[in-house]
A and B are shown apart, each in its own frame.
Chain A
Amino acid sequence: MTDSALSAVSTRPKSRLPAMWNRLRRNPVTFGALTVIVVLALVAILAPVIAPFDPDATDPAVALEGPSWRNLLGTDVYGRDQLSRLIFAARLDLIVPCCATMAALVVGALIGALSGYRGGWMDQLIMRMVEAVLAFPALVLAMGLTAALGNSIGNIILTLAITQVPIYIRLIRGEMLRVREMEYAEAARAVGNPPWRIVLVHLLPNCIPPLIVQATLAMGFALLTMAALSFLGLGIRPPDSEWGEMTAEGANHMVTGEWWLFVFPGLAVMITVLAFNLVGDGLRDFLDPRMRGVR
C-alpha cells in the first residue's frame, strides 16, 4: 500500500464527525433545539453588543410601556428595557445551571465510580445517603438549602449541584457495576494496573454516554429549579436579574394588565428548558448504538 492510501485509511476515526453532523441534520427536532441553545449561548456572550439598551438604565418617561418598535418587549416599572434585561439575564441563567451541572457531574461520577467499583459496606453507605437526599423533592431541598446557606450566586450553584449529585452517583454506580465485569476490566487487572487507574482510565470513560444525556436533561432541570427559587424569592436577588426573578416581579402586574412583564421572562425559561430537554432526548437516541441507522 502506498503512503497516500495509508493516510486515507487512517483518517477514518476523524471522518466520524461529518457523519454525526449528517445524522443530526436529519433529526429536525434535536437540531432545532440545539440551534436554540447555541443562539442563547451566543446571545449571553455577546450581550453588551446586541442589547439595544443598558439593562439597568432607568427612564421614567417610558415606564410600564407595552411592546413597541422602540422597546420590542416593553419596559418595566422603572422604564428599563425588558429585551435588554432578558438578554443580560441569559448570562446568569446559563452559567449558574452549567456550573452546577458540571460540579455535580464530576463529584457524582467520582463517588458513583468508587461506590460501584468497591462495593461492600462503602457502596451500601453511599447508596443509603443517596436515597436520603433523593427522598426530598428537589425544589423543597433547594429551598431549604438556600434558606440555610444564604442566596449568593455561589450558594445557589452549590444548592443546585447538591440536588443533582445523587442522580449521577446512581447512574455511574450502575454503569460501573456493568463495566467492572467486562473482560477489559479483567485484562486491566491482569497486567497489574493499580485500582485507581483501572477505575479512572479504563472504566470511567466507558460510562460516559449516559452521563452526557443525563447532564443535558439536568441542565434544563437545574435552570427550572433556579428560576423557581428566584420566583419564590430564595434565588438570585436584585440588582442581579434572572428570568425567574423577572417573572416574579412581572407577576405583581398580572392584575393590572402589563402582561409583557411576566409572559416574556416565562417564555424565555420555558423555551430554554424545553431546548435542553429535547437535546437530551435526541442525544439519548443518538448515542444508543441500537438506534444507529434506524432513521
Chain B
Amino acid sequence: MSLLELSDLTVHFATDAGPVEAVHKVNLWVGAGEIMGLVGESGSGKTVTAFSILRLIRPPGRIVRGSIRLEGCDLLALSEEEMRRVRGARISLIPQNPRTALNPVITVGGQIARLFELHRGLPARAAWERGVEALDQVGVPEAPRRMRQYAHQLSGGTCQRVMIAMALASSPQLLIADEPTTGLDVSIAARILDLLRELGSRTGAAIILITHDLGVVAETCHRVSVMHAGQLVESASVRTLFQQPMHPYTRALVRSIPRIDREVALEPIPGSVPSLLNASPGCRYVTRCLDRLDICRQILPPLELIDPDHRVACHAVEASRAAVA
C-alpha cells in the first residue's frame, strides 16, 4: 500500500463568475521513501494539490470531491483538531519562498524550538537544544548563533535550510516541498536538492517535490507526475518519462528542455493554460494539442495503466495502442 493516495481530488474556487476548477479529478499516489516530482506550468494546480493534502485550502477554495488517504486513513474525514495534529507532525511543508515564510518578528530559534514543544511536548530548554541540533543537521553553520537571529539577517539559502530543518523537526512521513529552489541561485539550489535527497534516504520520509523545472526532476526524483490545467496527464518513473513520454503535453514539455549536447531548436508549447472557469468536460489540453480527436472535447480521458509504472490520460494514446493491438 502506498503512503499517500489521492483519488478523484477536485478543488473548486468560488468566484463571482462561477466556480473555477483548480484541480480536477486528480489521482496520485506516493510510496514510502519515494521522491515524487509534481510538474506543470504556472496555474496547473500543483500548489493547490499540495495544499489540499494539508487541508490548507481556505475559502473561497473548497475540496469538493475525492479522498486523501494517508496510510489508509482519509484526511478529509478528520476533524480540524485532528488535522492540526497531522500538519507538521506527519506531513510537513517546505514553502515556496523561505524568506517570507519565516516570521519577521520571531527569531529563528523561537520558531524552530516551538515545533519541538508543539509536536514532541519538550520543555523550552530541551526544545531549544533540539532546534540547534536540527539546524546543524541541515548544514546551517554556527547554529547556536543563527537561533538568535531573525529572517532578515540570513541569506536565502540559509533561510531555506531553516525551513527544511523546521519541516523535518517532527520526523514526518511525508514532506511537501513547494518549489524549494525558486529564489535561490543555481549552486545553492543544487545543494538544497542534494540535502533533500540525502534527508529523504536517511529519514525514510517520502517527498513530493513541486517544481516547473524538469532538470530538477531528472536529478532528484524517482517518479514524476505531470499536471496540466488542474488535471493529471501522465505519471511515470523518471527514466520512462524522459525516454518515452506518451501524453502530447509531456512530449511537448520534454522537447522544450534546452539541450547543450545537441543542436536542436527549442520548441515552445503553443497557447497557454486554458481558463478553468466553466471548463469543458473533456481534456483541457485539447486547445493546444496536436493529436486531438473528436472525443477529447467531450470526455475526460481516464488515467490508463500502460505499463506497471506508467500511466497516461490521453484518448490519442489509447487509440494508437488499440490500433497496434
Contact = CB atoms under 8 A, between A and B. Distances in A.
Interface of A: 1, 6, 9-10, 12-13, 182-184, 186-194, 201-202, 205-206
A194 B84 CA distance: 7
B145 A188 contact: no
Contact of A184 (B54, B89, B104, B149): B104
7 closest Cβ pairs, A-B complex:
A191-B88, A192-B87, A192-B88, A190-B93, A183-B100, A187-B101, A184-B103
Interface string B129-155: 000000000000010010011100100
B73 interface: no
B282 to A, nearest CB: 34
B118 A192 contact: yes
Nearest to A190: B93
B89 A13 contact: no
Interface residues on B, range: 20 to 34
28 contacts: A6-B142, A10-B149, A12-B153, A183-B96, A183-B97, A183-B101, A184-B100, A184-B101, A184-B103, A184-B104, A187-B93, A187-B101, A187-B163, A189-B56, A190-B87, A190-B95, A191-B87, A191-B88, A191-B93, A191-B115, A191-B118, A192-B85, A192-B86, A192-B87, A202-B106, A205-B106, A206-B103, A206-B105
A186 B57 CA distance: 10
A294 to B, nearest CB: 20
Nearest to A119: B59
B100 A191 contact: no
B166 interface: yes
Interface string B88-117: 110011011100111111100000001100
Contacts of B87: 189-192
Nearest to A180: B58
Contacts of B86: 192
B119 interface: yes
Nearest to A208: B105
Given A10-B145, A186-B95, A190-B56, 20 more contacts: A6-B142, A6-B145, A10-B149, A12-B153, A13-B153, A184-B102, A187-B103, A188-B103, A189-B87, A190-B93, A190-B95, A191-B118, A191-B166, A192-B84, A192-B119, A201-B106, A202-B103, A202-B106, A205-B106, A206-B105
Contacts of A187: 93, 95, 101-103, 163
A186 B50 CA distance: 13
Residue with the highest number of chain B CB atoms closer than 10 Å, among A12, A186, A202, A206: A186
A10 B88 CA distance: 30
B58 to A, nearest CB: 9
Contacts of A188: 103
A117 to B, nearest CB: 11
Given A189-B87, A190-B56, A183 B95 contact: yes
Interface string B57-69: 0000000000000
Residue with the highest number of chain B CB atoms closer than 10 Å, among A6, A13, A184: A184
A188 B148 CA distance: 19
A182 B54 contact: no
B265 to A, nearest CB: 38
Contacts of A201: 106
A82 B86 CA distance: 69
